[in-house]
Copies of this chain bind each other. A is one copy, B any other.
Amino acid sequence: MGSLDSNPATFDAFAAEADGFQPLNADDVRSYLHKSVDFIYDYYKSVESLPVLPGVEPGYLRRLLQCAPPSAAAPFDIAMKELREAVVPGMTHWASPNFFAFFPATNSAAAIAGELIASAMNTVGFTWQANPAATEMEVLALDWLAQLLRLPASFLMHRTDAGEGRGTGGGVILGTTSEAMLVTLVAARDAALRRMGSSGVAGITRLVVYAADQTHSTFFKACRLTGFDPANIRSIPTGADTDYGLDPTKLLEAMQADVDTGLVPTYVCATVGTTSTNAVDPVGAIADVAARFNAWVHVDAAYAGSACICPEFRHHLDGVERVDSISMSPHKWLMTCLDCTCLWVRDAHRLTDSLETNPEYLKNGASDSGAVTDLKDMQVGVGRRFRGLKLWMVMRTYGAARLQEHIRSDVAMAKMFEESVRSDDRFEVVVPRNFALVCFRIKPHGGGMTTEEDADGANHELMERLNRTGKAYLAHTVVGGKFVLRFAVGSSLQEERHVRSAWELIRKTTDEIMEGEKKCVHEDGC
């Protein structure tokens, strides 16, 4: 042990208690973690049998647990007991193989292990010096993932073509896509203001941002957070003619119209795999339009980006070499537990110009040298966890082969589900299935269900009944005015049998609804 000489000559006696509180006592840590691992093992073994969506009422937990913080310490087993008895019954089990809502939060043994180790090391790598390994691991993980995605070398901090040399691009791991949008919006905003010669932010009222109406609501929120004028946030209508993807012609018209009235197109957000229906905006065509106006293009590939590690899906990113930034979230579909959103920018300086800080207490030789990356300058905050470790562990342990297998397996299961839906003529698949999300609905077909409105009601009823069983959880969306069920495959414990069972449950529940409708028509003429 390299402990220092500890001659206490110059100290007055300090009443150190031999039994003083040691929050990180290694034996306690091991004991608590072993108990946690046992809990997790049991949880994964039993989660399939738990209702996916709990039946608790608002305020239930407060009624089960004490309202005031305890004064005295308690054995860790007490917290674990309350976790089992009070918390678990009120959970929506995203880990359940019967979870088909939203997008699954995929996970893996390697990711959880990486996150655990990061939590125990608990470093704060705001600057390179504050944890060189964490900074370099994050850069490495981002470069690896960029290679899996075949992103252009211009996005990489370290170009790999010649094996050496520093790129002008850069990446950072953030908590959410929203933050990726926020920081790139700020960079684009500030660059536009500089180009306009704006005095301070005076020109901000002239800046305009664009996205398809299918873009995640968090984009429109990020625009407001960063001070764009609500009147200048364009939501461009899409329709079935483009499968709800952004039409570049409409984008061009909107941008040109704004320029004609003296406004300044500043930023376009293109989505690869929208939340609602997995629509794909045409990245290359959008980049070409935006280039005419010198507007920043960001690609939000939060969910579907992961699929692009497979050659057969990579075409959805065609044209990415002409955009300014791209983000995707391994915490969605790359088996990396929350949170983990990767952002790459083509010119890292455009980001750091807006986000850099340099307080005295963080100054150090390495930063001054310019030879290192200080990741605090690419995010909103200063503090940051050891974010790269779990993502690196996932890629290191599973390799490209397993990661691709995971994507393909989910897509195959979704395809299987889609075929089942298509084989039952009471249903329709509403939009083309691009990845592992199937958007479907009961269609109007006579009986008690002749109008679209009737069908909407039946689909709503179907969702509610399914979710009440606790045996499946599906969410919905509205597409082209129709109420549509979203069936998202991919929860990490999911197997083919769960998808089959869910389809059987959907069929059976639909039978019941149809029976009810018929009875209603027959008996009451209602």
Q: With an 8 A cutoff between CB atoms, is A338 at the interface?
A: yes
Assembly CA distance A6 to B505 (angstroms): 9
Query: For chain A residues 63-113, which have a beta carbon within 8 Å of chain B?
Result: 65, 67-76, 78-79, 82-83, 86-95, 98, 102, 105-113
Judge whether B222 and A380 touch: CB under 8 Å: yes
Q: With an 8 A cutoff between CB atoms, is A359 at the interface?
A: yes
Contact of A160 among B68, B175, B204 (CB under 8 A): B68
Judge whether B400 and A90 touch: CB under 8 Å: no
Give chain B residues whose Cβ lies under 8 Å from the Cβ of A111. 119
Judge whether A401 and B113 touch: CB under 8 Å: no
Residue in A11, A82, A389, A401 whose Cβ sees the most chain B Cβ within 10 Å: A11
Is chain A's interface secondary structure helix, strand, loop, or mixed overall?
Answer: helix
Q: With an 8 A cutoff between CB atoms, is A347 at the interface?
A: no
Judge whether A380 and B36 touch: CB under 8 Å: no
Give chain B residues whose Cβ lies under 8 Å from the Cβ of A395. 69-70
Copies per complex?
A: 2
Assembly CA distance A75 to B109 (angstroms): 12
Contact of A113 among B35, B471, B486, B496 (CB under 8 A): B35
Assembly CA distance A320 to B1 (angstroms): 47
- Given A399-B69, A500-B6, residue A120 in contact with residue B40 (CB < 8 A): yes
- Given A133-B88, A200-B230, residue A79 in contact with residue B393 (CB < 8 A): yes
Judge whether A98 and B225 touch: CB under 8 Å: no
Assembly CA distance A220 to B359 (angstroms): 11
The residue on B at minimum CB distance from A69 is B144
Query: For chain A residues 316-348, which have a beta carbon within 8 Å of chain B?
Result: 329, 331, 335, 337-339
Judge whether B1 and A49 touch: CB under 8 Å: yes
Assembly CA distance A219 to B129 (angstroms): 22
Q: With an 8 A cutoff between CB atoms, is A179 at the interface?
A: yes
Assembly CA distance A114 to B496 (angstroms): 32
How far in angstroms is the closest Cβ of chain B from A292?
A: 26
Judge whether B4 and A501 touch: CB under 8 Å: yes
Judge whether B354 and A72 touch: CB under 8 Å: no
Query: For chain A residues 138-196, which have a beta carbon within 8 Å of chain B?
Result: 139-140, 143-145, 147-148, 158, 160, 163, 175-179, 182-183, 186, 189
Give chain B residues whose Cβ lies under 8 Å from the Cβ of A24. 44, 95, 107-109, 492-493
Give chain B residues whose Cβ lies under 8 Å from the Cβ of A69. 144-145, 147-148, 395, 399-400
Contact of A501 among B5, B120, B220, B357 (CB under 8 A): B5
Assembly CA distance A363 to B383 (angstroms): 33
Give chain B residues whose Cβ lies under 8 Å from the Cβ of A231. 200
How far in angstroms is the closest Cβ of chain B from A276?
A: 6
